[in-house]
Structure 1
Amino acid sequence: MTLPIRNGRIRLSQGQIFWREVGQGVPIVLLHDTWSDGGEWLAVVDLLAEQYHCLMPDLLGFGESERPRLHYSVALEVDCLAEWLEALRLRRVSLVGVGVGAWVAASFALKHEEKVDGLVLLAPEGVQVVGAAQRWRGGRSLLSRVPLARWLLNLVAPVAKLLGWRSVLKLQERVRLWRRSPAASQIMFNRRPVEIQAEYIGGASSGSTSGPTRTPSGSTGTHGQHLSWLKAPLLLLQGDAESSLIAAQIRVYTDAPRAQVQTLPGQDLLQTAPDIVARSIHAFMRNNIRSND
């Protein structure tokens, strides 16, 4: 039976947050992907809502949440998440996240360990691996205020369409998506490299997967935190056909002491296999999380 979705809005110190929620019981907060909003979790929570209280916020600057003119960062989203949970009087939750949502979830768990029972993460951002710097440079150039790279891409796109150059057309569509998501674009690309690196919670500047990223101040990730200090149980869901970049990011996340990886068939699991994702979340909750009652 599909339960009715309830919508909510609340004004926080930084802006208004919109969220969807359904069900009752142990609370699970599901944080959306980098270029998406909380609605992408609906197919998953439809299978969880009979047993859990599922909440799906749009992060500040995303979806139907307010988009104030702020300097967006993971730290800002973590602080907004903390304020939102306090306003809803949710003392302890389990966090599920994908992409930037996973980065926010893990950073929140490091900063507020007393509020997090466990984490389930997919395609997690927030660590430095081989290929990340190249992706940043590409995204930065395509979103630059001096749009030379974007101009060249648009110039060649008609030819690419005629010749069937799918990679060029996919890149053009990706840039359109990035430009529709200014908060995500700023968090991922439109910040100084040193600021982005300061918010990484794992990986090394050399691209290895051992040890933290060091910032000029000598700190380790956001607020001096690193995955090796994460106390909550962590489940990493990985498709067996995911990109090498996602696989490398997941390997870094296994630095967390209580991390386990579950490999599932396919890729882009949230979109292609929401039923399998829901079953994995339920099994993790059953085995690791006790009721807050």
Structure 2
Amino acid sequence: MQAPPIRIARIRLAQGQIFWREVGKGSTIIFLHGALTNGSQWLPILDQLGCRYHCIAPDLLGCGESESPPAAQSIHSQAECLADYIEALHLEDVYLVGHSMGAWIASHYAIAHPERIAGMILLAPEGVDLPDRHQRWAQELQLTSPMPLIPWGLKLIKPFSKLFNRHHRISQLLDYRHQLLACPTSCRLLFKRREAEIAQEMLNEKLGDLKTKILVLQGGQDHPMQILQSKTYTKLAPYAKLRMLKNGGWDLVEQWSEQVAREIEQFLVTTVTRR
């Protein structure tokens, strides 16, 4: 069965105007995108589930076509905006699907509002503190630095990089820098805040309070530290289950949309049956 046409809408909240895509009827699923993208990331999933479920994919505050608020942002403020958004649309008993940064925001919302959540599916969730966090984000900080010595250096040596078989890697880094600069809100939320702010919003000490059924989807070919992060999340959240997609990488939504859609639907069917 083919999904009906996708609708677009906007609503003004206290934090700013939110833009979203919406399709279908039935149980409501809200999809929260990852760091370097927007709600359009979920279009392949909406095409597959929109004929059976009410699917909503907003652009997070400051991303895509949603407004950037004048006040400083945090994961907590994004979760508060999500709460106001769900309240404004009069939604109850929703399922949250979050990828990366979106999973971090979804978790904060679920901890604060357990009565409004029917369940969560999280893909490669961010927000679990591991010893390598500063190391993982050091490259991003260097690539987006106001004094971008490393990007300048990469551009200078790129014409000679083929001599050293490094042309592909240098091109990847420069493309990644362009992606980062195009998503300033995500950069700030993940690694451009004071350490005390970021540490306060890490989930390690909070996941034990999650009383929601959670399915964590993780690509088996993703970075080892991301795999460890998903395993740690699952260990700390009492009702979380980890599902490893053996051949999947970091781009589960884009490259494994059919399998992700099946996992989401199976989770919803199982959750409804047991309630």
TM-score range, shorter chain: over 0.9
TM norm structure 1: 0.88
Shift of 1:276: 0.4
Q: Describe how 1:46-195 pairs up with structure 2 within 5 A.
A: 46-160=47-161, 163-165=164-166, 166-195=168-197
Shift of 1:111: 1.2
User: Deviations along 1:208-231, whole A, 9 cap, x unmatched?
Assistant: xxxx3xxxxxxxxxxxxx111110
Structure 2 counterpart of 1:45, one-letter code: L
Task: Return the alpha-carbon distance in structure 1 between the equivalents of residues 163 and 274 of structure 2.
Answer: 58
Shift of 1:163: 4.3
Shift of 1:10: 0.5
Structure 2 counterpart of 1:248, one-letter code: L
Provide structure 2 residue ranges, at least 5 long, that are not aligned to the other structure.
none
Q: Describe how 1:239-278 pairs up with structure 2 within 5 A.
A: 239-254=219-234, 255-264=236-245, 265-267=247-249, 268-278=251-261
1:227 aligns with 2:229: no
Task: Return the alpha-carbon distance in structure 2 between the equivalents of residues 236 and 115 of structure 1.
Answer: 19
Task: Return the alpha-carbon distance in structure 2 between the equivalents of residues 290 and 108 of structure 1.
Answer: 24
Shift of 1:40: 1.0
Q: Describe how 1:31-42 pairs up with structure 2 within 5 A.
A: 31-42=32-43
Secondary structure at the aligned position of 1:238 is classed as strand
Provide structure 1 residue ranges, at least 5 long, that are not aligned to the other structure.
203-211, 213-225
User: Deviations along 1:185-224, whole A, 9 cap, x unmatched?
Assistant: 101121111111111102xxxxxxxxx3xxxxxxxxxxxx
Given the superposition, is the C-alpha separation of residues 130 and 157 from structure 1 closer, same or farther in structure 2, using an over 3 Å criterion?
Answer: farther
More helix by share: 2
Task: Return the alpha-carbon distance in structure 1 between the equivalents of residues 180 and 163 of structure 2.
Answer: 24
Most deviating of 185-194 and 16-25: 185-194
Secondary structure at the aligned position of 2:124 is classed as strand
Structure 2 counterpart of 1:266, one-letter code: G
Task: List, as ranges, runs of 4+ consecutive aligned residues in structure 1 with deviation greater than 6 Å.
Answer: none
Q: Tell me if structure 1 keeps the 8 A contact 2:7–2:21.
A: yes
Most deviating of 263-272 and 118-127: 263-272
Secondary structure at the aligned position of 2:11 is classed as strand
Which position in structure 2 is the counterpart of 1:287? Answer: 270
Secondary structure at the aligned position of 2:49 is classed as coil
Q: Tell me if structure 2 keeps the 8 A contact 1:98–1:124.
A: yes
Structure 2 counterpart of 1:257, one-letter code: P
Task: Return the alpha-carbon distance in structure 2 between the equivalents of residues 161 and 201 of structure 1.
Answer: 43
Q: Tell me if structure 2 keeps the 8 A contact 1:118–1:289.
A: no
Structure 2 counterpart of 1:262, one-letter code: R
Task: Return the alpha-carbon distance in structure 2 between the equivalents of residues 161 and 100 of structure 1.
Answer: 35
User: Deviations along 1:33-75, whole A, 9 cap, x unmatched?
Assistant: 1100111111112111122100000000001111234322111
Q: Describe how 1:207-222 pairs up with structure 2 within 5 A.
A: 212=205
Task: Return the alpha-carbon distance in structure 2 between the equivalents of residues 89 and 150 of structure 1.
Answer: 47
Task: Return the alpha-carbon distance in structure 2 between the equivalents of residues 105 and 75 of structure 1.
Answer: 10
TM norm structure 2: 0.93
Task: Return the alpha-carbon distance in structure 2 between the equivalents of residues 161 and 180 of structure 1.
Answer: 28
> How many aligned positions are there?
270
